[in-house]
Amino acid sequence: MRGVFHAVEAREVAFGIVPIENSYEGSINETYDLLATTTSKVCGEVTVRVRHCLIARQGTKLSQIRIVYSHPQALAQCATFLRAHRLEGVPSYDTAGSVKLVKEMQSSKVAAIASRRAARLYAMQIISEGIEATGTNYTRFLILGRKIASRSGDDKTSVIFGVEHSPGSLYRALHALANRKINLTKIESRPVKDTPWQYNFFVDFQGHVQDRVCQQALKDLQHRSTFVKMLGSYPRESSS
């Protein structure tokens, strides 16, 4: 993930794409932490429907499988399926890599959770498809670049801010948005790395930084917080 941010900052690529949250498992902490500490800007978002497959060697039956390898988020999304079939999940670095691992292990006791495409890539068998816990499993990705996207008329803005450790400080900061009827679409807290039990807040809200009302809100937020870091404004996806 860090590599994607670095490639954008070092001008090796024009744009990068990183996962930010899954509709079932929640936020991707690593991405939030990298947004806080790098200079990349958010210039778009894309939401992708996730369909997980249980993948094993050709000829394997579900009843033979004992151990299932995959990325921790994929294992978490399929936890209900794993429990129902008494399968033990073992975390690995990524979903497609776990298919390769299972292929190399040459055992009918092991399987992987990954996409249909990964099964095809390694010529492996799909034992079961759509094994995620909910039929509506989506992952939202952010497009990273070096500039804020221009105004489309239906935009979203992402910022990070910190507040004093005192009663009502978060509430007072959110007043800057609520007071202007700006729709907060997401709020996430992440620990401040070197100060235990202090948090920064990441918020997404409707509007573009070039909109007058957003400019006023951000100015107000600056007065009500210890710092504000602008992450970007970008066209809002209709599905999100």
Q: For 233, how many CA atoms within 13 A lie in the half-sphere containing its CB?
A: 16
Task: Decide if 160 contacts 175 (C-beta within 8 A).
Answer: no
Question: Which residues in 27-56 contact its own copies (CB under 8 A)?
Answer: 29-30
| Parallel, antiparallel or unpaired: strands 67-70 and 88-91 | parallel
DSSP secondary structure letters along 112-141: EEE-HHHHHHTT-EEEEE--SSSS--EEEE
181 binds its own copies (CB under 8 A): yes
Least spacing, CB of residue 83 vs its own copies, in Å:
9
Please tell me the distance from the alpha carbon of residue 194 to that of residue 93, in angstroms, as a whole number. Answer: 27
Work out how close the CB of 18 gets to its own copies at its nearest, in angstroms, rounded to a whole number: 16
Contact between 164 and its own copies by CB under 8 A: the answer reads no
Instruction: Tell me: does residue 101 bind its own copies (CB under 8 A).
Output: no
From CA 100, how far away is CA 111, in angstroms rounded?
10
Q: Which stretch binds its own copies (CB under 8 A): 12-20, 95-103, 174-182, 208-216?
A: 174-182
Residues β-bridged to residue 235: 155
H-helix or E-strand spanning residue 214? helix 212-224
CB neighbours of residue 55 within 10 Å? 31
The Cα 5–Cα 40 span in angstroms is 7
From the list 5, 81, 141, 205, the catalytic residue is: 141
Q: Which of these ranges, 54-62, 141-149, 191-199, 214-222, lies near its own copies under the rule CB under 8 A?
A: 191-199
Q: Is 184 in the site for its own copies (CB under 8 A)?
A: yes
Q: Among this protein's residues, is 38 annotated catalytic? A: no
Whether residue 205 lies in the annotated active site: no
Q: Does 199 bind its own copies (CB under 8 A)?
A: yes
- Among the options 31, 60, 95, 139, which is catalytic? 139
Q: Which stretch binds its own copies (CB under 8 A): 122-130, 171-179, 213-221, 224-232?
A: 171-179
21 alpha-carbon distance from chain centroid? 3
Does position 93 interact with its own copies (CB under 8 A)? The reply is yes
State yes or no: residue 128 binds its own copies (CB under 8 A): no
Contact positions vs its own copies (CB under 8 A): 21-26, 29-30, 72, 76, 90-93, 133-134, 136-138, 166-168, 170-172, 174-175, 177-178, 181-191, 193-197, 199, 240
